[in-house]
Amino acid sequence: MSSSPLASASAIKQLQASSVDPSAFVANPQLDAQGHLRHFLTIDGLDRALLTDILDRAEGFLSVARAPVKKVPLCRGKIIANLFFENSTRTRTTFELAAKRLSADVLNLNISTSATAKGETLLDTLRNLEAMHVDMFVVRHSDSGAAHFIARHAAPHVSVINAGDGCHSHPTQSMLDMFTIRRHKGEIAGLKVAIVGDILHSRVARSQISALNTLGAAEVRVIAPRTLIPACAPEALGVRVCHDLREGVTDCDVIIMLRLQRERMTGGFLPSEHEYFYLFGLTEKRLASAKPDAIVMHPGPINRGVEMDSEVADGPRSVILEQVSNGLAVRMAIMSTCIGAQHSAGQSPEREAARD
């Protein structure tokens, strides 16, 4: 487990002491007693119907971006706090925009200058935010399990959305990827999907694999050097492992390229970036092995000339910028679903009464 320099030592001790143990929660800690989505922490354990419902909701939010007034009132009166203990630009921006398009009030905490950085425990920070009647925490943290920890200790009226935790999970990124694939291919079911790159350190890859398997993809392949694939990948992740890029992308419908997670590497996983590109970088020539209508994706940011050629990144089969646009609609769908669960649980009147 890596530790963030921005998190207090006591917060990390609390996190380590808790360590993610799903069995310590209810059957699925993300769902309330009625089976509604209260938190969105990981794709694991969510069924196909729920994931499909989120994708369907996101379709409805796409038109908001093209409307003269880019807002809907679904979260009016709600307060959403972005707690980013790890640097982010794209994800944080899309969460903020998504919340504002739902008419919520948004708090962006500068963790580097917050009380947490001055020694306050993570739980004390949460308690203070809850006392300000915050309704939702959006959390990014370098420690795997951080979002689960916060959800476990959050007040009953607060929802938690995982915006990426360590090497564990990035569920909203995987859902926007599924949304992008579905808009191009119609259905996820039956597709052959290749995920290329740093599987070992990628929270995005783990969430993508879980979502693809849940939504019925015919085959999920992971392609990387042996040093960047977990030894247990075939059994634990339900994937086919390839160490040859041309073989791995052959007849694929979708190719997802991943960024090398240099910040999470603690040893010599690669001889050099030049050699990595020579063996695993996606070029037009290698892309020719995939199906003629195959699409190319990347969660960003791209390292051009390392993970892929600019000719591919900017080419006609690239849908990388669409992924960014779709991220807004998908995050609106997830936020509104969780806020809707609060209403279903009858928590909203209490919150309104408390505010009065």
Binding-site residues sit at: 90-91, 118, 140, 170, 173, 203, 259, 300-301
Q: Give dist(CA 212, CA 189) in Å, integer.
A: 8
Tokens of 353: 């009464």
Residue 169 DSSP one-character state: B
* Residue 307 φ/ψ, nearest 5 degrees: -90, -35
Q: Give dist(CA 194, CA 242) in Å, integer.
A: 10
SS3 348: helix
Q: Contact at 8 Å (CB) between 58 and 131?
A: no
Q: Which residues of 25-64 are buried (b: 16+ CB within 10 A; e: fewer)?
A: eeebbbbbeeebbbbbbbbbebeeebbeebbebbeebbeb
Annotated binding site for L-aspartate: 118, 203, 259
Annotated binding site for carbamoyl phosphate: 90-91, 140, 170, 173, 300-301
Q: Give dist(CA 307, CA 258) in Å, integer.
A: 7
* Residue 107 φ/ψ, nearest 5 degrees: -110, 125
Q: Contact at 8 Å (CB) between 42 and 151?
A: no
Q: Give dist(CA 186, CA 174) in Å, integer.
A: 17
Residue 163 DSSP one-character state: E
Q: Give dist(CA 265, CA 252) in Å, integer.
A: 29
